[in-house]
């Protein structure tokens, strides 16, 4: 039962970052930066509204990855969990006191 609660907390923290860009860091790849501020904002708004999580594309239920078409571009987003020093993975992504979340946004062609 603890695992389910941890996944619920991890998912909630990921949703907060994805929807409000708070509670973590944002990394835009060079391709997304090259699109300019207006298209970047459209992409970030689409990621915030994204709700197409299914067992096929979100098997752990963490809402940590998505692929979508936005502003004429195929875009991926991924949330990764690092320790506070950003030197390795977080030992517990559900615990925000020891985890730094990073939301990376990239064009599919950059993958």
Q: What is the pLDDT along the chain (111 residues), one digit of tens a residue?
A: 445 569 999 999 999 999 999 999 999 999 999 999 999 999 999 999 999 999 999 999 999 999 999 989 999 999 999 999 999 999 999 999 999 999 999 999 998
Query: What is the spatial distance between Cα 12 and Cα 94, in angstroms, rounded to a whole number?
Result: 9
How confident is the model at residue 70, as a pLDDT? 96
Query: By the 8 A CB rule, do 90 and 81 touch?
Result: yes
């Amino acid at each position: 039962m603890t695992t389910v609660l941890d996944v619920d907390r991890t998912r909630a923290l990921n949703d907060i970052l994805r929807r409000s860009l708070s509670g973590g860091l944002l990394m835009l790849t060079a391709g997304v930066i090259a699109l300019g501020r207006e298209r970047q904002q459209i992409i970030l708004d689409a990621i915030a509204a994204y709700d197409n999580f299914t067992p096929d594309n979100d098997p752990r239920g963490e809402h940590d990855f998505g692929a979508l078409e936005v502003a004429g571009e195929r875009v991926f987003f991924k949330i990764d969990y690092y320790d506070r020093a950003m030197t390795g993975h977080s030992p517990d992504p559900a615990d925000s006191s020891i985890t730094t979340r990073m939301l990376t946004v990239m064009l599919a062609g950059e993958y």
